[in-house]
Amino acid sequence: MVASGIAVGTVGIASDHAGFELKAVLREQLGEMGVEVIDFGTNSPESVDYPDFADALASAMKDGRASRGILICGTGIGIAMAANRHKNMRAATCHDTTDARLARQHNDANVLALGARTMGPEVAQDCVRVFLNTAFEGDTNPRHARRIAKMS
Ligand code: RB5
């Protein structure tokens, strides 16, 4: 997909049981946006452990199968914590489009983490749209790039 001049490669999406319904909504949205998606589960309300799904996405992003990710759990907190244990991941828990925009512009977040129990589907969809259409500002603001480099 290319929107607002930004090319987005394959997006990996994953959730735990708390997030699987919102994941289905966001998958449909990504399809409508023309974004290629890989779904790493889970696909039922049966209780699972969110780190397993963050790990599956991390491994896909590490080997290049996905360039960005969307993770969903009840709050977007636990699954982001699990994702950020991986060196290649910069997961940002976002509650609104301002979070999503700044996570891209300042933090070069490559994973959007959302809470299915703390936001409605429309807000989540807005966050996805902004997250995928906002560029990192590291080129024009070297301080952002320097700070990201310190985390690598
Ligand atoms: C699962 O009940 C819940 O704890 C999980 O989805 C998440 O919110 C953890 O951060």
Dump pLDDT digits (tens) for 32-59.
Answer: 999 999 999 999 999 999 999 999 999 9
Tokens of residue 32, six digits: 């409508």
If you measure from the C-alpha of residue 77 to the centroid of ligand 1, how many angstroms do you get, rounded to a whole number? 8
Quick check: is 106 catalytic? Answer: yes
**pLDDT attached to residue 2:** 45
Pick the CATH number of 7-151 from 3.40.1400.10, 3.40.50.10540, 3.30.70.260, 3.40.50.720: 3.40.1400.10
Q: Which of 17, 73, 94, 127 is catalytic?
A: 73
Q: Which of 86, 95, 106, 144 is catalytic?
A: 106
Neighbours of 34 (CB within 10 A): 10
C-alpha Rg value of the chain to the nearest Å = 14
Q: Which residues of 137-150 are buried (b: 16+ CB within 10 A; e: fewer)?
A: bbeeeeebeeebee
Give the residue ranges of DSSP H helices in 14-152: 20-32, 50-62, 78-83, 97-105, 121-133, 142-150
Helices 121-133 & 97-105 angle (0-180, nearest 10)? 20
More confident residue, 67 or 139: 67
pTM: 0.95
